[in-house]
Structure 1
Amino acid sequence: MEHLHWSPEFILLAVLGCIFIYSLLTNAIAKTILTLPIIFMVVGYLCARPIETLAEPEVMNDGKRLLAEITLVLVLFSDASRVRFKALRQNFQIPLRMLVIGMPLTIVLGMIVAYGFNPESGLAMALLTAALLTPTDAALGQTVVTSADVPERLRQTINVESGLNDGLVLPFVLFGAILASAGMEGANTDGLATSALVQIIVGPLVGILFGWTFAKAMDSAQDQNLMAEAAGGVAFLAVAFSAYIGAEFVGGNGFIAAFVAGMVFGNSYKHKIHFIGEFMEGIGQLLTMFAFLVFGALLLPDGLEHMTWNVLLLAIIFLTVVRMLPIWVSLLGTGLTSREKLFLGWFGPRGLASILFTLIILDEFDFPGEEELLACVSMTVFLSIILHGISAAPLSKWIGRDAK
């Protein structure tokens, strides 16, 4: 009986059962304060001990890394592909200000705060911490971007910002990780700067090449009625992972390539692109479930173990002052009300991108003070999942009343 309780089959059946029950109750859950991230984070945390027994630590690390890479490539490509430059022309000022002014200010302020709390870790670790906690995840406040109470321009702004800032922050994450790793005693720093520059320059070039080439090839196939509509999801996978693998093959950063490829593909492909959204609502949502489950099972317990009052305070400051003050500054002169600025500042949830970046960076590099970094990211994402999840519905109604 004990063997059955802890067997991989039993654990997998339990997780699949949770996924099935969630699927059955999606409409009912949507009317509550519960969200997908909250549910699967809790499921993962409750399954933490048995999940750790499923395989050796090395195998578990490889599995985490693979899940993180697959999910991040799809998220970066799909988010970027949904941003239409033509549609943004009428309402580009607000998201552009948040990305061009707000995002760099968030990183700088976050680095200052992180360094102030833990100066012995150095500026590089402070930069890495700030960069990991800068990208936002609209899925944590899904009610906000789907609610009819929220004005269209605010919903569009949140979607555009969360769709683009995870890809735009990647170079900062990469530089922070390289600098922090180079600070380790005995680290080989030969060629690190050159390698980083090559990754950041070559990655976008490969993304442009693959995104445009695949878009035009698919357009041609559809114009000649050679391509079945149902094949769009398969083609999406091929484009996203070809850009990633192609960039890695020639020394570029695959994640940056996937992000740029998505942006170029979405704005070059002349036919309907609904297949990407449909795919991400299915397989993409399943990957998201597993990503939050992994967070609850493998990252959150370690983060809680190393949590201190300093870490908790730092997480709260990152979710409030570090996010909201730069966004407020970036929106000065836009004509938005104070209530709208606060709303956009608050709904910068930290979620999937921060989790995936952290999983990959911790596996790729060695840092001083990894435990503190993990605790800070875990606690910030944990609080964000809870606070943004439960505040989405009431604040949507609050901003809706203001609009009326």
Structure 2
Amino acid sequence: MYIELAIFALFVFCYSLVSGRLERAPASGPIVFVAAGFLMGPLVLAWFDGSISRTELRMLADLTLALILFIDAANADLAILKQQFRIPSRMLLVGLPGVIVLGTLTAALLFDALSLYEAAILGTMLAATDAALGKAVVTNKAVPKQIREGLNFESGLNDGLCVPILFVFIALALGGGNEGGGTMAGLKLVFQELGIGLAVGLGLTAAGTWALRWCHERGWVTEIWKQVTVVALAIACFAVAQSLHGSGYIAAFTGGLLFGYKAKEATHKLVLASEGTGETLALLTWFVFGATVIGQSFQYFTWEMLVYAVLSLTVIRMLPVFLSLSGTGESTASKLFLGWFGPRGLASIVFAIIVVNKGVPEGKFIGMIVVLTVFLSLVAHGISANPLARLMGQKDG
């Protein structure tokens, strides 16, 4: 165990030394860590045996995603978002349902083994985009502000919106569709997830920021422990909402928005240490993904899976988003950019684990498609992030 820990720690240390240089390179941090995990995993060097349970992987991915959602939301420029809210609102209310429908129809046509409900499960799992993988674009100042904030807001909320929809389709796939009242039960679940997530995220953050300010004014909070408050509050928002059967993703993101609004100019200083923690957790997750998931899955990939994965990253995502932005005044280049940068990542991995654990008949098959899509997204979006961001900056200038 200590040898593996030493190898990973030294690799992280070496990466941190050249991280600034690598951020400008075609290979992003997640690509580097997935590749390193694969090479050091059981199929190549065998320095890591790749033994990790689905529960452990889900916990790691959940905590990482919750922290990143909270931090990204806290750093959001609400003034720009208020002026340009039509972009994320169109993408969430029109584009997201379109992606789910088109993904479902494509899966139903391409995979005979899947029932319609299972195809809908796959379409929903891959409609969620990853705030962690999209960070390279969202934080790139070359990208116009309204595009960055639009993508940040969309990626922060769409995975939370997909959770109740996913559970509805899982229930239908497992036989719930034969019972009366299925539609009403599904709507109830959607509103429950969203309502509890919003209430917990806003309520807990409001109480937390008040307590932090009150204690700070009395000199009770040290500089070191002040940094810990953000990590603890982010995870608390997520975990409390999940324990109450709400959406932890919605809670983390909305909590982060309120935290940034309350903290104002102190936000950057407060979340700086948490950003380092979030980045480390994200890279650890991608390392584990490369060592365990990719290493054990690539032999099961088929050409049909590859076709669907490519379509999911292009037509299935880009066409509905492009159409949803009609009439917003955005240029064709901006619409294509917004459609392309919908990377699949941590949320889809968590969804895949949920589907397998729920016992969906073709759950493992669906999981393989998700793994392949996430891997292709990791490479394609990682390589294209910096060049396309610079191109968008030139067009805007």
- Please indicate the TM-score interval, normalised by the length of the shorter structure: 0.7 to 0.9
TM-score with structure 1 length normalisation?
0.85
Q: Are 2:341 and 1:347 aligned?
A: yes
Query: What is the CA–CA distance in structure 2 between the aligned matches of 1:108 and 1:151, rounded to whole Å?
Result: 30
What is aligned with 1:219? 213
C-alpha spacing 1:62/1:98, structure 2 compared with 1 (3 Å)? closer
Say which is worse superposed, 113-122 or 248-257, in terms of deviation.
248-257
What is aligned with 1:5? none
Query: What is the CA–CA distance in structure 2 between the aligned matches of 1:143 and 1:195, rounded to whole Å?
Result: 34
1:322 CA drift (Å): 0.8
Is the 1:79–1:164 contact (alpha carbons within 8 Å) kept by the matching residues of 2? no
Is the 2:227–2:271 contact (alpha carbons within 8 Å) kept by the matching residues of 1? no
Instruction: Give the fraction of aligned pairs with identical amino acids, expressed as a percent.
Output: 36
Q: Which amino acid aligns with 2:267?
A: I
Listed as ranges, the matches of 1:25-104 within 5 Å are 25-49=18-42, 50=46, 53=49, 60-83=53-76, 85-104=78-97
CA offsets per residue over residues 18-76 of structure 1, 9 Å max, x none? Answer: 21111111122123211111001111112331477365xxx633432331232233233
Say which is worse superposed, 271-280 or 20-29, in terms of deviation.
271-280
2:198 alignment partner, SS class: helix
Q: Are 2:317 and 1:315 aligned?
A: no
Q: Are 2:370 and 1:377 aligned?
A: yes
CA offsets per residue over residues 102-156 of structure 1, 9 Å max, x none? Answer: 1221112112212222254223222221222122235435553344443232233
RMSD of Structure 2 on Structure 1 (CA): 3.0
CA offsets per residue over residues 347-379 of structure 1, 9 Å max, x none? Answer: 1111232223334x1464211112321221111
What is aligned with 1:331? 325
Query: What is the CA–CA distance in structure 2 between the aligned matches of 1:111 and 1:231, rounded to whole Å?
Result: 47
Consecutive unaligned residues in structure 2, runs of 5 or more: none
Consecutive unaligned residues in structure 1, runs of 5 or more: 1-7
CA offsets per residue over residues 213-234 of structure 1, 9 Å max, x none? Answer: 2122223333444433443332
Q: Are 2:281 and 1:281 aligned?
A: no
Query: What is the CA–CA distance in structure 2 between the aligned matches of 1:117 and 1:63, rounded to whole Å?
Result: 32
1:293 CA drift (Å): 1.2
Is the 1:112–1:126 contact (alpha carbons within 8 Å) kept by the matching residues of 2? yes
Is the 1:302–1:374 contact (alpha carbons within 8 Å) kept by the matching residues of 2? no
Q: Which amino acid aligns with 1:168?
A: L
Listed as ranges, the matches of 1:237-252 within 5 Å are 237-252=231-246
Is the 2:96–2:127 contact (alpha carbons within 8 Å) kept by the matching residues of 1? yes
1:357 is aligned, of 351, 363, 387, to: 351
Is the 1:170–1:256 contact (alpha carbons within 8 Å) kept by the matching residues of 2? no
C-alpha spacing 1:298/1:392, structure 2 compared with 1 (3 Å)? same
C-alpha spacing 1:31/1:199, structure 2 compared with 1 (3 Å)? closer
- Give the number of equivalent residue pairs: 389
Q: Which amino acid aligns with 1:14?
A: I
What is aligned with 1:117? 110
